[in-house]
Homo-oligomer: A and B are copies of this chain.
Amino acid sequence: MKISELSRTTGVPVASIKYFRRQGLMPAGKATAATLAEYGQEHVQRLRLIKALTTLGGLSIAATRDVLTAVDQAHSADSALGAVSYALPVPVAESPVGDAEREAETGSAAEAEVAALIADMDWQAPSTSPHVEGLTAALRELKRLDADYRPGELAAYAELARSIARLDLDRAAAFGDDPVALAEQAVIVFALSAPVLELLRRLAQEDQVRRRVAGDAVDVDADADTDAAVDADID
């Protein structure tokens, strides 16, 4: 197909397609004349992925390029997941300004907290992992705001995060063994379901707030009914 049809099919303007190509995010089409190129289904898929990463995923062009490179270089299914996991940007806490002494204190406290959590959870992650560094920086910021987690709270969240990660990996793995296809799926699952999870959490918070305002008891028994309702619906 020509670039105009590629644009119509994907909903990405021609100028953006040319920009993505110049930025090295997308391979060129097959040249059919000096100023004409032919595009195929692989360009459609690539463009959809780029669009998803830059809009719903909120990634910069540079971050998108890193992720796509990881996708392209993936040789095995598992290494594809690992490469994507490291290429996706992590939320960052701004580097600290202000009281240097207090800073050093909260910094090493946060580091120790993260190391203890990882040991308790039996998580395999080196201290150089971007996720370990990101979590340490975020906890340091919260300490500076005196909004620290109380003992046990972070572990409770971590247990839920483990359950979420299992669902994530199962979703990605369901898409087969081809490394590039799996990496693409991992990008979608890892990057694009983060907003979905956050929205589910916000919805659940809204529900909890409404119940507390109404004076309802927010009891654990409510779960049993809901599980039954969900099961019934899936059938």
Q: List the interface of chain A (C-beta within 8 A of B).
A: 8-13, 48-49, 52, 55-56, 58, 78-79, 81-82, 85-86, 88, 90-91, 93-94, 96-99, 116, 118-125, 129, 131-132, 134-135, 138-139, 141-142, 144-145, 147, 149-169, 171, 174, 185, 188-190, 192-213, 218, 222-223, 225-227, 229-230, 233-234
Instruction: Please name 29 pairs of A and B residues whose Cβ atoms are closer than 8 Å in the assembled complex, sorted by A.
Output: A8-B98, A48-B144, A52-B145, A55-B141, A56-B94, A56-B142, A58-B91, A82-B206, A91-B194, A91-B198, A120-B226, A120-B229, A121-B230, A129-B206, A135-B200, A138-B192, A142-B188, A147-B188, A153-B171, A157-B193, A160-B164, A161-B201, A162-B207, A165-B207, A168-B205, A169-B212, A169-B218, A190-B202, A194-B198
Copies in the complex: 2
Tell me whether B222 and A188 are in contact (CB under 8 A): no
Distance of A71 from chain B, by nearest CB (Å): 14
Contacts of A120 in B (CB 8 A): 226, 229-230, 233
Report how far A34 CA is from B55 CA in the complex, Å.
48
Report how far A86 CA is from B206 CA in the complex, Å.
8
Report how far A155 CA is from B139 CA in the complex, Å.
30
Nearest B residue to A204 via CB reads B165
Report how far A218 CA is from B168 CA in the complex, Å.
13
Given contacts A125-B203, A225-B122, contact A209 B94 (CB under 8 A): no
Contacts of A213 in B (CB 8 A): 78-79, 82
